[in-house]
Structure 1
Amino acid sequence: MNLTTSMVHSQESIDSLVNHIESSFSSHPSESIYFQTSKDIYETGEDLWFKAYQLDAQTFGLSDKSKTLYLQMINPKDSVIWQEKYSIENGIVSGHVYIDEKLSEGDYFLEGYTKHSFYKNDTTGITPVRKIRIVKNIARSEVTKNPKDTTFRFETFPEGGNLVSGLSSKLAFKATDGKGNPVSVEGAIYEDDKFLCGIKSVHDGMGSVPFTPLVNKQYKIELKNGKIYPLPEIHSQGMVLNLRGQDKEHLNFLLSQTEGLPHRQIYLLGQMRGMICCMAKGILKDSLKISIPLENFPYQGIAEFTLFDSSMRPVAERLVYVHPQKKLYITAEPEKTSFTIREKASIKIKATDEKGNPVRANLGISVYDRAYNNPADPVNILAYCYLSSQIRGRICNPAYYFDEKNSDRKEALDLLLLTQGWRRYVWNAAEPEYQGQPFLTDEINGIQTLKSKKKDKQNEGAEQLIQVFGAEGNSQFLWTDSTGHFMVDPDMMKTLQGGYVYLKPMLSKEFKPTLELVDYFLLIDSIRKNRPHYYPIAVSYHKKEQPLDLLVISSDSTILLNEVTITAKGHKPFRDKMMGRLDSLTQMNLNKAWVCECQPVYLNDYYPGYTHHPNGKYDKVKKLPVEGKGYRIIKYSPMMVVEDIQEIVYSGPLYSDEELLKMNNLWRTKGYYGKREFYQPDEVDIQLSTPDARNTLLWTPSVITDEKGEAEVHFYCSDINTGFIGVVEGVDGNGLLGNAKCEFRVIRK
């Protein structure tokens, strides 16, 4: 083969590889979801307020592809205890979940699914999830501690994938218990039973040592706990990939191969979240230095470098974290460090990029009692999007790697990628059967069929009209197609927003029209348990003892709720207005009981055989009985002799939802859940003498900074005198993510 032919063959191989990567990524979900909540811990009977960011899976810019969020809350036993649908507007959705008073204490999980974030056959994607701690009473809740586990696990990870005889590389290691919690370790590497070097973990049970193995030697690691572990297989020849250095502009790699091997052409491919960012090639003799300009990578995150030989076979892989500075820089400054109870407070917000330029950002802001902060939930928008959602396995305290107070965070993050992000290469493994197509929809889908054998021929294959109601009774109309299929689109769902959507065929009952509606929540349940569920873990911690305020008690000895809302306590009524009206109409039409005007008043035809006027013969106005009112009922013998007289309280016939739907030829399915406003007192409310025991002072899910990158939020403090935390998270819409925290105190005068 001449040189020209070889170059053409290499280019074809590169093009084939690039096409393979791009097609592989295009078949995976293109959106990622991050959940922000109003606080970390909730008491039963409260509302959980959330904001979900729908981000492009590659750029982390806001995505508007999907229009419907399917939200579930999962209890500690992995059962669904809440599921509703919410409307997504320009990549943002906010709403609330009612925390039922009957729920038991424990860790619950919010899980979200959209059309382009959750595919049926994707068994590698990580389901977007947010942990929520639920307690009965915050004052009596127990401090969460990581359970102790006696299982010990120790693993070693050669940089790039393999140990090669005579080639220097980095040997990383990690120690954990059976729960995934890190375990500090110390020990030594022995070569032919002779001490070679010591090892010691430096962060969360992880560490590394430079190491040059020899194929004719025996190696082992002996830890101080007495356990002994052999090293991975040492290859007699091959290539290794080492990251030798990283500065603000370049990544410096050293490629080495076994002495005496022929010179060969190699390729180093760099990609990020499925985007191919660079391809370097060169001739490898004994060693080769390659410098990769970081400007090739447009975003912050994990870059994946793969070394290919001249036949385009993957040889080694290295994950590197790049551009930690490319983020949204947010500052949140309270007007003062302390406020008095019921004082009007404010927090100034500023958002900039890494160069200090102002940024128009979409932010979610909450201010809550620090007692509701959960150190056992180490998650924020940076840690989740850039790390937890990108690599498999449970990560211990991912927020640590993004806290600038931690001077060793970059070195610690590299250790994490060496040990957890590391994998022996699987490029040649068979791809799983994967269709790469959404199975969720933004719409409500269904089909109408006619079951009458006496179908009117003009109705066969014709479009049919269906009336669609909202929970409030408001309605619109839609048409089926010629096959009976129909769709309630997101715009109609927003118009009818309020919970359930009701559908009524407009054909007469003689055609026996029936509707079949697709329940996508059932499809989600059948798939979600096969998806990875790697929620981060926190290191053991000890909560500082702090005096909690006593419950605020009013003058009539009533204990006030921790959060005051405008609406009544019935957060989720037994029936919406639509079903309530149907119930009333049904009782009027089907209820045969009536009241006469005799003295005393009698209730007729309510209990079988009990009536004051046999056979209903009564020439005056028959009145309807009143629910809950007491009446007299009487029973006569055939000879009109009184057999029994009773005093009863009238209770009209109640029908189940299923009975009411069937009676009225209706079908229903979940539409968009109803919206509520987070309650904040105004200047009039705050002057009232009623005690104010709000533990969440502010929840504002959509604050937009101005052209200067600035915004200011205002709120009133409650009667709780304690420390409060302000949390700000958000996006610029084009790929920059950021977060900030602030604290202040509320004191009594």
Structure 2
Amino acid sequence: MIKYRFILYLIFLSLSNFVQSQTLYEKVLVAEFEEKARKNARPIEYLQTDKDIYETGEQLWFKFLQLDGQFLSPYQGDSILYLRLVNQISREVFWEEKYGIYSGFTDGMVLLNENLNPGIYNLEAYSPSSVYHEMKDYHAFKEIEIRQFINPEIIIRHNLSDQDDYSDTLNLIVSDKQGNRLSDAKIQITWLNSKRKSIHETTFQSNLEGRLEIPLNRTGSQWIDLDVTLGNKHVFQRIELKDITNPKEITFHPESGKLIHNQESFVMLSAAGDNNENQTRQGVLLKDGEILQFINMGSDGLGKFKVKPEKGSSYRILWNDTPSDTMTVFDQIEDRGVTINLNTLADTLLMTIQTSWPGQKHFLRLQVRGIVHVFHELILEDNSQIKIPLTNIPSGIAEIAIFNDQAEPLGERLTWIENNGKLIVEAKLNQQEYGSREKVKVTFTVKDSKGTPLEGVQLGGTVSDKLYQNSRYNRSLYTFAHIITQMGTNPNLESILSLSEENDFRKINNILESSNIEKYIWLEQKFENYRTVEYPLGNKLTGQIKYRNSSKENDSKYGLLFRGDNEGNTAFIPLDQEGNFEIYPEELDFGKDEYLYIKALPKGSNEIILKIKDPFEELSSILKTARFNFPSIDYGGSNQKLDLPTFDRNMILLSEFVVRGKRMEQDREKFIGELAERAKFDFNDDFVCQYGDLLNCPICSYTDKKPIEGKEYLVITGDVLKIAGGSHYIIKKDPSYTHSHKIYEYPKYTDEELMKLYNMTRTKGFFVGSGFQFKEYPDHESKNDPEADYRNTLGWYPYLFTDSNGKAEIELYTSDNRSIFAGNFEVLSADGKMGKVNFEFVVK
């Protein structure tokens, strides 16, 4: 569907030269493109957590949202979220639960086990609409760091600082918090590539001076993981390595993707060096050995110049800092083609188009996220200028393409459209400094870019200790939806778009010009290989009850479904002719925080096989081919030095991290425990003689008297030939007779064995767990409560909404931590506009 139609006009031609309605051919071209785009569109999925850094034993709070991949409105197509916590390197899974998705949103809790090893973990979210076989890119995850203690008991110092000098040696010093050197510390070192995959591991020990010197092989490595243990102390640190192969490699990017003979074009230069370095360079462009023009690159590693290339000429760049080395450029100049130059003036996009086919019919298309907003036939001259009004075109990366009359592409380029897409959010605190256990009040105001307050806008975020936040983590909902899911990771674009203020679209367009257009997911050539894909995760679970050695007409047409904590409340679940059944989100919600059991109704069969397909099992194979789009992030230790009190960690566990999810409180679910007790009688024929402690008396054959666990009984084998009087005793024995004494134990069954015995299977319902626990100190008595309060997350607010004045408020109480606290809130309107706001305050 075409959302908007705009009339283009040539600056030097009148509007009457344009056909003001589309032809059938144009409508067909647009419809075909948009149909293919819609089939390729998948929801944008984003995870938000209350912190970036956690201690073992804490609770992690998350919010998950789905947006329509084209319109950025809440996605309505999915009902189940499959969430995992995975060690990034080993891929070992430590948490695996299902959560209900409601109109594109869900939130919940993950318990970080006390025994987790420090390191980097992925919190990974999977939905039925986004996971498919042969999936190439995966975005919906959040990297988190887990530490044993936020203030580590082992300090690691190394020589690879932010100003890494490309040293070929890693020098480490290991000490305690008092500076005492630690010898014999075990140091496991893992080299990682850019995909965070392990390429080499080795283990060392610190010497008597707490030192360690390790040769560095940087080839193919981007990160080093240091895992240091000494006794029960365990710390982790990740260090970024700079690629030493060619730190000053330069690439050039013609604005329309290629250079055309005798067509003037801008060329962007991009340096491959570190973004934190000053990459300023000066040089000259040489044409056939003669200076053509001077060239400058800014500190961000970007440069731009205009050139009118001539095929057959030789072009080289000579840099001032490397006068003995020149760089060959423009080695491929096309004979013919189209060049597109863009300039944005207020709410108008000004295009200058040069073509090698003057006077012939061309088509111009402008699309954003696979939705065509402009499509028109043009008769272009050698150098034509066109204006496109931007009033109703949504913000985001747009593709502009020129086609010939056979709809064959001649030229294309990307540009950034800025059209009231970023919300302006303010956060006002009632004061900037607080004492412990004092009330904090924050008032949010949300406006559009024109300053109009907006009602019904959703805010979600957290207020937590800055020590638990990574200030260099630039990923936000806005950058995620507009850049990462559209073009992949781009540190320069993420950095600009992550700012709270209005976008600098000129800088954005410069970066887009220097980016590889092939990364843009909405290019039509990427749709050509579209085919129906298989989605293994469903919005329902499937299973089967199979009756062996039975005719199908005798099989039951139903199974029983019930919660583990309420066997009496059952529901019938229908089976098809093959015994297949389905469990819908309503049933999973009914079974929240418990197991849901499916029981077969035996009918005409001695053996019944039950199974429920586990959606998580398919993920490992699918992710082998998927590329994780990691954010631009630095894992280095914080440079902040905050005055924090020493405290007993047990107080945190008692006061903050009480877990109420029933599945997490018991080693064995109550219902399974009851089944185990029931199985003692249902599947055990042992009995005790009515006249004494004789187990399985051969004379009695059977009694209702059952053995007692742990009690000693007499056990005999062989035939007893005589009985005298009213009681049993042996007067003659078979030659095979033996006897012994036995401490009785009932058979022990695993959960799976018990369910098989009772013709059952089970799956987990939706996980809910406990809600976030706020703490309040409304009066003098509560403020003087002697119980320590060391909460590092003061408030978690997944859903706030603005009123008619565009305002929303929160109130919370500080803890006993003397620190800097920060609020981080993401904002989303119903029509897909986004923003964010950050604020800080001090607790003294």
Q: Does the CA contact (< 8 Å) of 1:302 and 1:319 recur in 2?
A: yes
In 1, Cα distance between the equivalents of 2:783 and 2:767?
Answer: 30
Give the letter for the 2:108 counterpart.
G
Q: Which deviates more, 516-525 or 400-409?
A: 400-409
| 1:524 aligns with one of 608, 619, 629 | 619
In 2, Cα distance between the equivalents of 1:159 and 1:413?
Answer: 14
What TM-score does the superposition give when structure 1 sets the normalisation length?
0.85
Q: Does the CA contact (< 8 Å) of 1:56 and 1:63 recur in 2?
A: yes
The correspondence of residues 619-634 of structure 1 with structure 2, limited to 5 A, is: 624-625=708-709
Residue by residue over 1:553-576, the C-alpha shift from the partner in whole angstroms, topping out at 9 and shown as x without a partner, is: 39xxx5643971333799464433
| 1:228 aligns with one of 322, 327, 331 | 327
Residue by residue over 1:286-323, the C-alpha shift from the partner in whole angstroms, topping out at 9 and shown as x without a partner, is: 100111111241x2211111111233211111211112
| 2:562 aligns with one of 462, 469, 480 | 469
Q: Does the CA contact (< 8 Å) of 1:471 and 1:497 recur in 2?
A: no
Alignment length (residue pairs):
713
Shift of 1:651: 7.7
In 2, Cα distance between the equivalents of 1:697 and 1:467?
Answer: 44
Residue by residue over 1:698-747, the C-alpha shift from the partner in whole angstroms, topping out at 9 and shown as x without a partner, is: 11212222233222222221111100011111322221222111111111
Give the root-mean-square deviation of aligned CA atoms. Answer: 3.8
2:139 is aligned with 1:127: yes
Q: Does the CA contact (< 8 Å) of 2:687 and 2:703 recur in 1?
A: no
For the structure 1 residues 95 and 680, does the alpha-carbon distance in structure 2 shift closer, same or farther, using more than 3 Å as the test?
same
Give the letter for the 1:729 counterpart.
E
Give the letter for the 1:94 counterpart.
D
For the structure 1 residues 414 and 575, does the alpha-carbon distance in structure 2 shift closer, same or farther, using more than 3 Å as the test?
farther
**Which residue of 1 is the match for residue 350 of structure 2?**
252
Give the letter for the 2:456 counterpart.
R
Shift of 1:424: 9.8
Q: Does the CA contact (< 8 Å) of 2:446 and 2:454 recur in 1?
A: yes
**Which residue of 2 is the match for residue 384 of structure 1?**
480
**Which residue of 2 is the match for residue 110 of structure 1?**
123
| 2:659 aligns with one of 567, 570, 575 | 567
| 1:156 aligns with one of 252, 275, 287 | 252
For the structure 1 residues 654 and 203, does the alpha-carbon distance in structure 2 shift closer, same or farther, using more than 3 Å as the test?
farther
In 2, Cα distance between the equivalents of 1:501 and 1:637?
Answer: 45
Shift of 1:242: 0.8
For the structure 1 residues 686 and 592, does the alpha-carbon distance in structure 2 shift closer, same or farther, using more than 3 Å as the test?
farther
Give the letter for the 2:353 counterpart.
L
Residue by residue over 1:509-536, the C-alpha shift from the partner in whole angstroms, topping out at 9 and shown as x without a partner, is: 7353333433322333322332332222
2:241 is aligned with 1:147: yes
For the structure 1 residues 731 and 709, does the alpha-carbon distance in structure 2 shift closer, same or farther, using more than 3 Å as the test?
same
In 2, Cα distance between the equivalents of 1:10 and 1:357?
Answer: 38
Q: Does the CA contact (< 8 Å) of 1:271 and 1:304 recur in 2?
A: yes
- Structure 2, unaligned runs of 5 or more: 1-17, 153-234, 719-728, 731-737
In 1, Cα distance between the equivalents of 2:630 and 2:797?
Answer: 26
User: Secondary structure of the equivalent of 2:518?
Assistant: coil
**Which residue of 2 is the match for residue 675 of structure 1?**
769
Shift of 1:216: 2.4
Q: Which deviates more, 135-144 or 378-387?
A: 135-144
Q: Which deviates more, 278-287 or 588-597?
A: 588-597
Q: Does the CA contact (< 8 Å) of 1:447 and 1:486 recur in 2?
A: yes
**Which residue of 1 is the match for residue 539 of structure 2?**
442
Give the letter for the 2:373 counterpart.
C
Shift of 1:26: 2.1
For the structure 1 residues 718 and 418, does the alpha-carbon distance in structure 2 shift closer, same or farther, using more than 3 Å as the test?
same
Q: Does the CA contact (< 8 Å) of 2:651 and 2:788 recur in 1?
A: no
2:384 is aligned with 1:285: no
Give the letter for the 2:268 counterpart.
A
The correspondence of residues 494-533 of structure 1 with structure 2, limited to 5 A, is: 494-508=589-603, 510=605, 512-533=607-628
For the structure 1 residues 568 and 644, does the alpha-carbon distance in structure 2 shift closer, same or farther, using more than 3 Å as the test?
farther
| 1:694 aligns with one of 791, 794, 809 | 791
Q: Does the CA contact (< 8 Å) of 1:553 and 1:691 recur in 2?
A: no
2:417 is aligned with 1:322: yes
Shift of 1:391: 0.8
What TM-score does the superposition give when structure 2 sets the normalisation length?
0.76
| 1:551 aligns with one of 622, 633, 646 | 646
Q: Does the CA contact (< 8 Å) of 2:474 and 2:498 recur in 1?
A: no
In 2, Cα distance between the equivalents of 1:85 and 1:289?
Answer: 55
**Which residue of 2 is the match for residue 301 of structure 1?**
396
Q: Which deviates more, 531-540 or 734-743?
A: 531-540
In 2, Cα distance between the equivalents of 1:503 and 1:560?
Answer: 40
For the structure 1 residues 10 and 348, does the alpha-carbon distance in structure 2 shift closer, same or farther, using more than 3 Å as the test?
closer
**Which residue of 2 is the match for residue 190 of structure 1?**
286
**Which residue of 1 is the match for residue 443 of structure 2?**
348
Q: Does the CA contact (< 8 Å) of 2:281 and 2:298 recur in 1?
A: no
Residue by residue over 1:55-89, the C-alpha shift from the partner in whole angstroms, topping out at 9 and shown as x without a partner, is: 11111111222111122333222625133221011
Shift of 1:437: 6.4
Give the letter for the 1:553 counterpart.
D
Shift of 1:173: 2.5
In 1, Cα distance between the equivalents of 2:418 and 2:269?
Answer: 25
2:183 is aligned with 1:84: no
Shift of 1:604: 8.5
Report which structure shows greater RCO (CA 8 Å, sep ≥6): 1
Give the letter for the 1:219 counterpart.
Y
The correspondence of residues 13-28 of structure 1 with structure 2, limited to 5 A, is: 13-28=25-40
In 1, Cα distance between the equivalents of 2:804 and 2:501?
Answer: 32
**Which residue of 2 is the match for residue 666 of structure 1?**
760
Give the letter for the 1:564 counterpart.
E
For the structure 1 residues 369 and 194, does the alpha-carbon distance in structure 2 shift closer, same or farther, using more than 3 Å as the test?
same
